[in-house]
């Protein structure tokens, strides 16, 4: 691995031409998570229609490094289903963050979070919010180490999510 891999990170809004690359990123992430015992995503979920739906419903971003897809994430401006009464229009919500395994260990996830934070701040929001499955101790620690504050655990049907926010 080249020590400068990821140094030229280019993050932009994803479009239909990025569909195959997005599918590859999400399927790779789903497979890796399963290999780690994290049963969060089913790789069959990430169809062309699913990706098109993400583009239509959210702001879907893709990061390139050296002309290759390096990672992606979605941003949305409301998330009542998880955040309930806390969702008052003053936050940006990050979901579906992935970094290709080929570039893991290069702090790309941190750089994507920093970029998203700046984007949310420029949109005039007060909070940067995200969630993750409560049983994923590694990811929970990652978000706390990135400066997010744990607020509460929200139960779902057979799952629970920890809510995190960062005041901007």
Torsion of CA 69, 75, 79, 82, to 10 degrees: 40
Residues 6+ apart with CB under 8 A from 51: 19, 22, 23, 26, 60
Whole-angstrom distance, CA of residue 97 vs CA of residue 76: 13
- Reading the chain (168 residues) residue by residue, the pLDDT tens digits are 444 555 689 999 999 999 999 999 999 988 877 667 766 677 788 999 999 999 999 999 999 998 899 999 999 999 999 999 999 999 999 999 999 988 888 899 999 999 999 999 999 999 999 999 998 898 999 999 999 999 999 998 888 999 999 999
Helix segments in the chain, DSSP class H: 19-35, 48-57, 80-83, 108-122, 137-145
Whole-angstrom distance, CA of residue 123 vs CA of residue 77: 10
Q: Are 69 and 24 in contact (CB under 8 A)?
A: yes
């Amino acid at each position: 691995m080249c020590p400068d891999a990821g140094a030229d990170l280019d993050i932009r809004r994803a479009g239909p031409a990025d569909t195959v690359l997005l599918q590859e990123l999400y399927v790779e992430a789903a497979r890796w998570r399963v290999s780690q015992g994290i049963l969060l995503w089913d790789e069959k979920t990430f169809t062309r229609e699913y990706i098109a739906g993400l583009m239509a419903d959210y702001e879907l971003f893709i990061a390139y490094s050296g002309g290759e897809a390096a990672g992606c994430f979605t941003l949305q401006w409301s998330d009542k289903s998880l955040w309930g009464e806390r969702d008052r229009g003053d936050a940006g919500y990050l979901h579906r963050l992935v970094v290709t395994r080929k570039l893991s260990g290069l702090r790309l996830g941190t750089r994507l979070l920093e970029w998203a934070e700046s984007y949310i701040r420029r949109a005039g929001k007060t909070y940067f919010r995200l969630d993750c499955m409560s049983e994923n101790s590694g990811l929970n620690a990652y978000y706390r180490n990135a400066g997010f504050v744990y607020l509460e655990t929200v139960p779902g049907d057979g799952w629970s999510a920890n809510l995190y926010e960062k005041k901007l």
